[in-house]
Amino acid sequence: MKREPGKIHFAKYEDSERLQRALQLMLDGLARTTREIDRGADICAVNSAACELRANGFDFRCIRRSRPAMYQLFNVDQAKHLSASLLKKLVVA
């Protein structure tokens, strides 16, 4: 099976406790290091989680790639609304 370049396989936010934990930690809008996210959300592949959250519509970016890498969630209000909307679909379905 051949994939388009630049496309990733990603978990749906509403089905992934890992992505939900990462987002919950970042909802204050503060920048955090990879280690802080790793420890705070109990996930080890922070860059992968960031890519997956972006694929789900969240504005979660790496803002500094040098050591230590730093990540930040932008548009926090939009992220809260999107999270609630995606999780609400689970309750309704």
Give the per-residue pLDDT at 7. 74
52 belongs to a structural domain: yes
Instruction: Let me know: does 11 contact 22? Beta carbons within 8 Å.
Output: no
In a domain, 6, yes or no: no
Instruction: Flag whether 4 is in a domain.
Output: no
Q: What is the pLDDT of residue 5?
A: 64
Distance, CA of 76 to CA of 26 (rounded, Å) = 9
Enclosing domain of residue 86? 13-92
Q: How far apart are CA 33 and CA 25, in angstroms?
A: 12
- Residue 65 belongs to a domain: yes
Total domains, the chain? 1
Residue 1 lies in a domain: no
pLDDT tens by residue, 23-60 = 999 999 999 999 999 999 999 899 999 999 999 999 99
Q: Which of the pair, 92 or 69, is modelled with greater confidence?
A: 69
Q: Output the pTM of the full model.
A: 0.84
CATH number, residue 84? 1.10.10.10
Check residue 1 and give its pLDDT. 52
